[in-house]
Amino acid sequence: MEKRKLGSSGLEVSAIGLGCMGMSFGYGPAADKKEMISLIRTAVEQGVTFFDTAEVYGPFINEELVGEALQPFRDKVVIATKFGFNLDPSGKEQWIGLNSKPDHIKEVTEASLKRLKTDVIDLFYQHRVDPNVPIEDVAGAVKDLIKDGKVKHFGLSEAGVKTIRRAHAVQPVTALQSEYSLFWREPEAEIIPTLEELGIGFVPFSPLGKGFLTGKIDETTTIDKNDFRNTVPRFSPENRKANQSLVDLLGRVAKMKNVTPAQIALAWLLAQKLPNKNISGQAWIVPIPGTTKLNRFEENIGAVKVELTADDLSEIETASSKIKLQGERYTENAQKMIDR
């Protein structure tokens, strides 16, 4: 597996990571734990070294899954997890608000370390920016954890440009995790140029558009009642039908390359290596597609071997620029948690 460094931090990971959220949460009922442990360990054997989780996924059970699965390989892998929510002790709600107060961050750290069966968190993201806590205080708390040897690297998720700059001035940010794909290109306007300038790596989540870019979902697809995509405007049947033209584009390119639409979508992301004086011209974008199926995992990592020429990329750019995608990516309440 090809390796990449997340920005100028020196943190080296596999070119494609594994997002583990969907194994426990979000896309319907949790998958079988033994099968997921086997899948995660197969990923390690296939060269994946970057695994993403969070305390809120479940909550808690996804960190426990990842910790158990990776314990035999702990010195060979990079584990990323996240803080930033007040979790509902009753279990009735997933969370009951944002909380990035320094004392809370340190409490979460200790709990996550236990669930992950480790003595250090490789990459610790603020899951969502808390408007009630200055980002300088958040960065300072993580800086203390790094000094204490409990965390190695600081990350942000769905943070805006001003927040990134303010945080980075206190404690260098290793990576930003935000949604980015041919299905959601907003980061290209301001976020990616800022990361490039500051030497911060980029970890796109939902690189397959929450599954839509695989070509396996259309307007007739029934989505499980517990799947969060039922609440996503972009996944309404009418919007799925309207946005099918993007999947059709990927399918045409995939057919020419004798690969799958998902592999083209991931290869496109991997090809977004902008020249960077702060990152020595290296590729610094590392997508983290998630799956619960071994064949899908193998399909995803196969994207590393797919070569898109300058002409291929130009064709995708020209054709996709003519497609106006329909539907918001989040509900109104979820949108409020996105830092601008």
The residues carrying an active-site annotation are 57
- Token duo for residue 263: 């592999």
User: Cα(40)–Cα(45) distance, rounded to whole angstroms?
Assistant: 9
Output the DSSP codes for 32-64: PHHHHHHHHHHHHHTT--EEE--TTTTTTHHHH
Say how far apart CA 46 and CA 37 lie, in whole Å. Answer: 14
- Extract the tokens encoding 81: 């997890």
DSSP type of residue 150: S
Q: For residue 205, count other CB atoms closer than 10 A to its CB.
A: 20
DSSP letter for 211, please.
Answer: G
* Helix-then-strand count for the chain, H and E: 12, 9
End-to-end CA distance of the chain: 35
Q: Decide: 38 and 16 in contact? Cβ < 8 Å.
A: no
CB neighbours (10 Å) of residue 97? 12
Q: Which helix (H) or strand (E) segment is 300 a member of? A: helix 294-301
CA distance 67 to 14: 19
Measured distance CA(228)–CA(223) in Å, rounded: 9
